[in-house]
Structure 1
Amino acid sequence: MLPLLRKNAAEGEQLGALAPATLEALDRVGVFKITIPTELGGSALGARDSAEIVKALGQGDASAGWLVIVSSAARNALGFDSKARDEVFASIADWVGPIMFGATVFAPKVGDGREVDGGYMVKGKWSFGSGCKHAAWGAVGFEYDDQASGERRRAMGILSRDQYEIVDDWKVMGLQATSSNSVRSETEIFVPDYRVVHTNDLPRLTEALRGKYSGLAFKHGPIGGMVATTCSFAALAVGIAQGALDSFVQQATKRPPFNLPYKTMSEMASIQVVAGKARAVINSANAVLWRHADEIDRRALAQEEFFPWNEPEITTDLVHLIHECLRVVDGLLLALGSSAVVLSNPLQRAVRDIHVLATHGAFRIDPAAEISGRDMFGLDPFPMIAALSSPPAANADRPPVPQPGRARVGDMASAFPTR
């Protein structure tokens, strides 16, 4: 599919959504169903298989790979009331594209709601709804005042396609075809009880899915599933870098240098060094990526848990390789020269796409490294998703932190929902 993806990538950027031919081709091979249960027509793939698919797509069109990752939002519907699950997946066999997107579920500012008989009245604007132009349903966050307790609570609701409008505000430098527009409802819309869950219940609901459906995807625990998703985003960066290197090699074998007497740029030692270093970085990134993806799947198959203190190191490894791939792609464009900045050149798109990927809040290297560093020194973790409250502490015990004189972190199992 790479020739098709590369051919249609520019059209997707112009549309702000995947080109129709790309969307149909992706849907035909089932990539939007890789995390959906086999009982519902999906593949329920594990971390390694999912990451391999995303990496391959990233070599042709990063937006396609991104949408395959975020299409896993449909998995959230499995934890809702069975009536909501049945509604969302009723058209899964015929729907072309991701069945559901998510927008502003865990952000600091979400929509506003109020309790009414049988459900909630909700309105608001929800940003970064990747895939909203292609999906049948949307999951959004909202807050409301609990009538019984008087508390301010946060929930996630599922909206049907007719309950929101798509805002034309996805004007960005890269990943333009992901249709990551905002969606909004300026007037209140009714969301029935069965299409709502409270965000502090999400860890429990996610855990309850383990073993409920067939497939490796449903053998992962909550933390395993979280780091598996991070693996897919890292795989997208590796795919972008690999696609950029392939294009670089192809172009360097045809283009003459600007001010040296070689027939092609590929004869230049400096170009050979750039290519060799790029391949080394990509090979190293692959090694780290597959190491973690395979360990996620191994633990799932062996029914071994991931604990909260396992996650920071893995996440930082993966975020670090995203940024190393970014530097590779930047270097390839600079080495090729001014011909690479022409909009018809795939290298410039790779640069723009991987920069947008790396700016995502979850993939900024310094915050990720700080979280990992705090863990190394035995310091208490920061709450990373304030929308979720911590459940009671479990009884799992963490090995002592090896630094003498440091107070070890106690039981951190309760920290997962805040991460």
Structure 2
Amino acid sequence: MTAEATPSVGGPPPGLPPLGGPSATGPKFPESPHLSEVGRRMRDEILELLPLLREHAAEGEALGALAPATLEAVDRVGAFKVAIPVELGGYALGARDTAEIVKALGQGDASAAWLVIVSSAGKGALGFDPKARDEVFAGIDDWVGPIMFGATVFAPKVGDGRKVEGGYLVKGKWSYGSGSKHAAWGSVGFEYDDPASGERRRAMGILSRDQYVIVDDWHVLGLQATSSNSIRADQEVFVPEYRVVHTNDLLRRMDGLRGQYSGLAFKHSSIGSMVASTCSFAALAIGIAQGALESFLEQAAKRPPFNLPYKTMSEMASIQVVAGKARAVINAADAVLWRHADEIDRRALAGEDFLPWVEPEITMDLVHQIHECLRMVDGLLLALGSSAVALSNPIQRAVRDIHVLATHGAFRVDPMAEINGRDLFGLEPFPMMAALSPPPPGTGPSHGPTPGGVPPRP
């Protein structure tokens, strides 16, 4: 069978059991006590939407943004508001709820799932002056899509600014603005010279849509519909004081939100929120893998093998072995993910914090699962053969999307393993945000104290 003849497929074939989620026989294990009615409702509605998401995934890739039907459907479920306070029109869901929703989305359109995760940038506006918060969320009820995106906030290189009366004049280019084509506001990082002290300082500012242009530079291997374009302001734009927060003050402000709003999301500590975010990205990888396996099962049950006398590939022992191992990878990744997501929520409800040195170990567990899923998805494509490389075949999209996810700096195995290895050998830990650390003497101006610096173990 030629690649050109490959139909677009998705979902388990008739007669094959589903790989996860609600089914006629129920889940394999009792559902988590931390899965709320709202989270269950969103997850189940998204699972019902999988045919639509899969149908429009290629359209989103061509647009470099979510297809209109996908954007509207995901917004209608409420998924772009999972991190927004209840008081401001959102749901403030916990780690388990959010991971369940993201995993379900990942089975149909990984770009949509990615944008649900990063829509938490809107939560960042809560750390600003209340006037900025009110400005950002004024249109939340009518806005379709994420309300705000972030671009180059914590990167080593940010935009340039200067202090003026009432605020700052800012210009620059900010990369990786996921959701930039869909969001109402953008948050960006910039540096400026403090007029009083002469110190080089770093800050985060909120820009309105009329203060930047979107650069046509998101031409990448996968996650193409995330609209992770750069944005640019070639001329200085004015950012009022109330829409600016100094970066070394941001984590303190965000931590101060704990308990100020309703919902489990606002019971998490700062470290709990950090690992909850990593849980969501691991859930995306697992969702991609599960969707790919469902498609693999459907195709293998229909296709004849190239050079063996079986009616379909599903009769081949080698294909059965691939499928069996793939399911084990998903089950193992699920076990790790749900353990950590539930523990994050349990601690939040109990008022217990995570100690700083626990975060790298949890993150390493989750990053490892991302890469296990990547290898599994690669194996499905190789086992299915040349028919899987057709652009109409969802498995090739799964391969591309999960590779882009795994190349993100936060999810690369070896750097994360080094951080954990230092801990195992009792060596001094790195700061949580190394890019914001003071540079070594003689290498350049300091950015100030490191937010989230890791204290030594007792």
Q: Same fold (TM over 0.5)?
A: yes
Of 332, 335, 341, the match for 2:383 = 335
Tell whether 2:436 aligns with 1:364.
no
- Tell me the residue number matched to 2:242: 194
| C-alpha separation in 1, matches of 2:100 and 2:260 | 25
Q: Check the 8 A contact 2:222/2:402 in 1, yes or no.
A: yes
Task: Identify the residue that residue 52 of structure 2 maps to in structure 1.
Answer: 4
Task: State how 1:208-227 maps to structure 2 within 5 Å.
Answer: 208-227=256-275
Matched, 1:233 2:281: yes
Q: Does 1:76 align with 2:134?
A: no
**Contact 2:305–2:311 (8 Å) recurs in 1:** yes
The aligned residue for residue 375 of structure 1 is: 423
Q: Provide the C-alpha distance between the structure 2 equivalents of 1:317 and 1:39, rounded to a whole number of angstroms.
A: 34
Secondary structure of 2:202's counterpart equals strand
Alignment pair present for 1:26 and 2:81? no
- By how many angstroms is 1:339 displaced? 0.2
The residue aligned with 1:267 is: 315
- Paired letter, 1:277: K
Structure 2 match to 1:35 = 83
Runs (4 or more) in structure 1 with deviation over 6 Å come to 391-394
AA aligned opposite 2:369 = L
**1:382 to partner: Cα distance:** 1.6
TM-score by length of 2: 0.86
Inter-partner Cα distance in structure 2 for 1:162 and 1:55? 34
Q: Does 1:168 align with 2:216?
A: yes
Taking the aligned partners of 1:184 and 1:172, their CA distance within structure 2 comes to 19
Q: Specify which of 319, 342, 367 is matched with residue 319 of structure 1.
A: 367
Contact 2:221 2:400 in 1 (8 A): yes
Instruction: Measure the CA separation in 2 of the matches of 1:306 and 1:363.
Output: 20
Distance 1:410 1:62 in 2: 38
- Of 260, 272, 293, which aligns to 1:245? 293
2:342 match: 294
RMSD: 1.2
Aligned length: 398
Distance 1:234 1:278 in 2: 16
The residue that corresponds to 1:401 in the other structure is none
Q: CA deviation at 1:387?
A: 2.5
Say whether the 8 Å CA contact 1:244–1:350 is kept in structure 2.
yes
Does 1:134 find its partner at 2:179? no
Query: What percentage of residue pairs aligned between the two structures are identical?
Result: 81
1:387-417 Cα shifts (integer Å, max 9, x gaps): 26247999x9xxxxxxxxxxxx445xxxxxx
CA distance in 1, matches of 2:262, 2:387: 50
Unaligned runs of 5+ in 1: 397-408, 412-419
Out of 102, 113, 117, which is 1:54 matched to?
102
Q: 1:37 deviation in Å?
A: 0.4
How far apart in 1 are the matches of 2:425 and 2:85? 40
Task: Identify the residue that residue 65 of structure 1 maps to in structure 2.
Answer: 113
Alignment of 1:175-186 (within 5 A): 175-186=223-234
1:149 to 197, 200, 208: 197
Alignment partners' CA distance in 1, 2:415 and 2:87: 39
**Local SS of the residue matching 1:93:** coil
The structural deviation recorded for 1:169 is: 0.2
- The alpha carbon displacement at 1:386 in A equals 2.9
- Name the counterpart of 1:96: 144
Aligned-pair CA distance for 1:381: 1.3
Matched, 1:386 2:435: yes
Whole-angstrom distance in 2 between the partners of 1:261 and 1:410: 62
How far did residue 342 of structure 1 move?
0.2
Q: 8 Å contact 2:436–2:451 — kept in the other structure?
A: no
C-alpha distance in 1 between matches for 2:373 and 2:309: 31
**Contact 1:106–1:385 (CA under 8 A) maintained in structure 2:** no
CA displacement, residues 38-85 of structure 1 (integer Å, 9 cap, x when unaligned)? 011111000000000000000000000000000000000001000000
**Partner letter of residue 189 of structure 1?**
V
- Give the AA of the match of 1:19: A
TM-score normalised per structure 1: 0.94
Change (3 A) 1:144 1:257: same
- The question of 1:285 aligning with 2:333 is answered yes
Which whole-Å deviations, capped at 9, do the CAs of 1:166-204 have from their partners, x for residues lacking one?
Answer: 000000010000000000000000000000000000111
Selected match of 1:13 from 61, 64, 84: 61
Q: 1:393 to 1:329 in 2, by over 3 A?
A: closer
